[in-house]
Structure 1
Amino acid sequence: MDWLIIAVFGGVYFGMALGRWPGLAINRTGIAVIGALILLLAGAIDGDQALAAVDFATLSVLLTLMVLSSQYAASGFFDWIGDRIIHLDLTPRGLLAGVIMVCGGLSAVMTNDVVVWAVTPILIAGVVARGLDPKPFVIAVACAANAGSAATLIGNPQNLMIAEFGQLDFMAFLLACGVPALIGLVVVYLVLVYGPATRDLLRFANPGPRIDADQTITLNRAMLTKAVVATIAVILIFVFVEERALWCLLIVAMLLLSRKLGTDQVLGRVDWHLLALFCGLFIVTGAMSGDDVIAGFFRDLLIGLRVDQPAVLLGVSLAGSNTIGNVPLVMMLLSLGPDWSRSMLHALAVFSTLSGNFLIVGSVANIIAVEQAAKAGTVISFADYARIGVPVTLISLGMALGWILLIA
């Protein structure tokens, strides 16, 4: 049965790297679900083991953050914040700084994917109306969302997994990871402003706002207040409570109790595909880690590579995040890797998140930004993104490595 587990694991992670299986339209979620189903039907893992492998605590918190983001979206907050950004009477460089600061800050307390999905369309419309090229601004949204999400335990899915795995403290994580995240945001701005790929686009564009003043964004203050209170509650849960999952689900229940927002509206914005992807990957990696021979082999391999050394972990994170993806990478390392110290978990969170800025395929947020831009008529090629993402990632990772070594 060992050969089947290895074959399924290889096939699933091969699919994670390509985004599909050749000749089929299936995506990463479908691949993970089918892989888990094959292992269950073959008896390589039974139902009880599969349930034990699924980290329901992480899924509960991730669901909570998705529902919370849904509340913000329903209140009109994302439209309003995007509208406020594009109406700022700033030069292109000043506007770029505002976009990076806002998207980075929002991503630290919400899932970065949702921030990118919500802000990108209205931002493109605004910058085009100003006579600006939207490409550097779209790339700024994606890179800033990734970098900003590195700061907190709730900024992105991989941080949630790492937090649950190591039962990490919210404030200690913020102190360790907040500095590299802030540095990452600064690097995004500097590369976009002074890098050869985009500096002329910002320098010669018309700085004056040309926005239709008659367009107004309706903000439901009652819904927004409820969302803000729920956000504060989630943060307090992460700061003071050890058993976070049930308390976070209580926040979901409170958000569902609404006189104006129907349950289908709240849950309709939840990324169920991502949750299914997590479940499938949990079962596949659970089968691997549950087999003593296979798990021992991989653990010895990773220990032999000295993955517990910050510089090696950085290289593994960069390579893995831009092939199989940062979420599958983190899941595999936590299941099959060596014993993780708290400081190395912080490093894994920072490196795996910042590595997502390297290429379009490095992060789901990048893919969302590019797809949203294409729908609005702005095509960002693989090379367009790489000319910004590669230097941003290499510089920010280098500085993050220095910080990790300094505080170790």
Structure 2
Amino acid sequence: MSMVLIVFVVVYLGMMLGHLPWLKVDRAAIALGGAVALLAASRLTETQALASIDFSTIGMLFGLMLISIQFEMSGLYAAVSAAVARVRTPPPVLLALLIALAGAMSAFLTNDVVAVAMTPVVLAISLSRGLNPVPFLLAIAFATNAGSVATIIGSPQNMLIGEQLHLSFAGFMAYTAVPALLSLAVVWLALMFFYRDRWRLERSAAPLGVAPAAAPDAPRFDRWETGKGVLVLGFVLYAFIFTDWNRGLVATSAGAFMLFNARFMSRSMLHRMDWGLLILFVGLFIVNGAFQDTGMPQQLVADLKTAGFDLQHSGVLFAASAILSDITSNVPTVMLLLPYASDPAAGPLMALASGLSSNLIVIGSLANIIVVDAANARGLNISFWEFAKVGVPVALTTLLVAWVWVRYLM
């Protein structure tokens, strides 16, 4: 039991720090190492390890990643982003259009991929029009996080919640769609307020090394491949909403179908997969499963309840999900707290808390880091405080909106 506890503590310390002291390992490697250590020390068998993995969630994540990659490689993200960014409207209207686009795409596709594809396009178009790119780039980060809470397939943690709690696609959206839409409005209002007199780019502030007319390395738009992806995604959504077919198998089958492609090499598509995230899921499933089997979490929860901190109370679970998501990251937090989601609304509340709290600080989500790193790579620095100045009020306001909607208006 002590070995399991040590591994669990080390793994979640790694989740919190993003690495381990003096070692160049990331979260995925830490989770995998923890799982292997438990197997090597005979603290669980191979059968127990396999039984603790939710293969339906892994399948959903795998398949939807490949569909999203199909859209990325066919140039859909870049083409749509560029079309919206080229619309000759005042900056506030352009900001609203980009927020709506990023939020809508993130609700049905992987929000991290949306951020990767949209960031260079938005940056390049902003510069070509002499606009300050910062509010538009922040809009991409905030909107992808906010939009992703709307559906079960909007983020990895949503998929995990939906599969573990057996939530229907429509039932999940009944709780989350309105808060997601209202959160996008909050993002627009906050950016409007903080950048109301800073829309234009000062020449001295222009980043270097960016082609102003178009996004660098943007894939050429392919109507046939995009159309194929739309049809496959439509089939997946139909199956999720109107049938009781296994969602993991449906998504995996759809993703595998995308690999049989006349234009894109399957190797190229698989190379773009976020294998680290899949490894993270597998490792955490095993580590958390072993920890649950010790009985220690149940005893700790009982002690906390005696002390007046009941994790099975939806309000406490909502607050814990929001706080821990910015400390240990979304997926590890949800995996840790999901066993205590007993209230019917607890699953959607966890999804809203983990997703909307991501806008608090830069390290709150991978989408934030993608946007900031892409801007920094092109000479535009978005500091921790520049992000938090807008992110903190956005996150706190949207969390309040979500809580009020689910607990008092549903």
| TM-score higher than 0.5 | yes
Deviation at 1:128, TM superposition (A): 1.5
Partner of 1:387: 389
The residue number in structure 1 matching 2:324 is: 320
Alignment of 1:3-402 (within 5 A): 3-195=2-194, 198-202=195-199, 212=213, 218-239=220-241, 240-292=243-295, 294-301=296-303, 303-304=305-306, 305-335=309-339, 337=340, 339-402=341-404
User: For the residues of structure 2 that align with 1:301 and 1:186, how far apart are their CA atoms?
Assistant: 41
1:301 deviates by 4.5
Q: Following TM superposition, by how much is the alpha carbon of 1:224 offset from its aligned partner in structure 2, in angstroms? A: 0.3
Residue 165 of structure 2 aligns to which amino acid in structure 1? G
- Cα separation, partners in 2 of 1:76 and 1:167, compared to 1, 3 Å: same
Contact 1:193 1:202 (8 Å CA) reproduced: no
CA RMSD of aligned residues (A): 2.1
CA 1:285–1:201: 2 relative to 1, 3 Å: same
Offset, 1:6: 1.1
SS at structure 1 position matched to 2:345:
helix
Instruction: Measure the CA separation in 2 of the matches of 1:301 and 1:179.
Output: 36
Residues 225-281 of structure 1, C-alpha deviations (whole Å, 9 max, x = no match) = 011011111111211224211122221232122222221122121100111111111
Q: How far does the alpha carbon of each residue in 1:28-54 deviate from its partner, in whole angstroms, 9 at most, with x for none?
A: 111111111111111112111111111
- Return the offset for 1:161: 0.2
- How far did residue 194 of structure 1 move? 1.1
Distance 1:331 1:301, change over 3 A: farther
Q: How far apart are the structure 2 equivalents of 1:269 and 1:204?
A: 34
Cα gap change, 1:41 to 1:226, in 2 (>3 Å): same
In terms of mean alpha carbon deviation, does 181-190 or 374-383 score higher?
A: 374-383
Instruction: Indicate the SS of the match to 1:378.
Output: coil
Give, in whole Å, the separation in 1 of the partners of 2:158 and 2:301. 22
Q: By how many angstroms is 1:63 displaced? A: 0.6
Q: How many residues align?
A: 399
Alpha-carbon separation, structure 1, partners of 2:144 and 2:66: 19
In 1, Cα distance between the equivalents of 2:364 and 2:215?
A: 39
Deviation of 1:25 (Å): 1.5
1:98 to partner: Cα distance: 1.0
| Offset, 1:217 | 7.0
Q: Is the 8 A contact 1:13 1:324 kept in 2?
A: yes
Following TM superposition, the consecutive aligned residue runs of length 4 or more in structure 1 with deviations greater than 4 angstroms are: 203-206, 213-217, 301-304
**1:348-382 superposed Cα distances (whole Å, 9 cap, x missing partner):** 11111111111111111111111111112111111
Using the size of structure 1 for normalisation, the TM-score is 0.93
Letter of the aligned partner of 2:239 in structure 1?
A: I
Deviations 1:63-101 (A, max 9, x none): 111100111011111111121122110111111111100
List alignment gaps of at least 5 residues for structure 2.
204-210
Contact 1:117–1:368 under 8 Å retained in 2 = yes
Please tell me whether the aligned partners of residues 301 and 311 of structure 2 are also in contact (alpha carbons under 8 angstroms).
no
Give, in whole Å, the separation in 1 of the partners of 2:378 and 2:80.
Answer: 19
* Bigger mean CA offset, 35-44 vs 151-160: 35-44
Normalising by structure 2, we get a TM-score of: 0.93
Alpha-carbon spacing, 1:212–1:349, altered in 2? closer, same or farther (3 Å): closer
CA distance 1:199–1:301, shift in 2 (3 Å): farther
TM superposition shift of 1:170: 0.7
**Whole-angstrom distance in 2 between the partners of 1:107 and 1:211:** 26
Which amino acid letter does the alignment assign opposite residue 268 of structure 1? Answer: H
Does 86-95 or 255-264 show the bigger shift? 255-264
Contact 2:127 2:212 in 1 (8 A): no
Give distance in 1, aligned partners of 2:238 and 2:305.
36
2:264 alignment partner AA? L
Identity %: 37
Distance in 1 between the 2:248 and 2:305 partners?
A: 32
Q: What's the offset of the Cα at 1:205?
A: 8.0
Q: Distance in 1 between matches of 2:111 and 2:305?
A: 32
Unpaired runs of at least 5, structure 1: none
CA distance in 2, matches of 1:190, 1:376: 27
Alignment partner of 1:202: what SS? coil
CA 1:105–1:301: 2 relative to 1, 3 Å: farther
Q: How much does 1:159 deviate?
A: 0.3
CA contact (8 A) 1:288 1:295 kept: yes
Mapped to 1, the partners of 2:180 and 2:10 lie a distance apart of 34
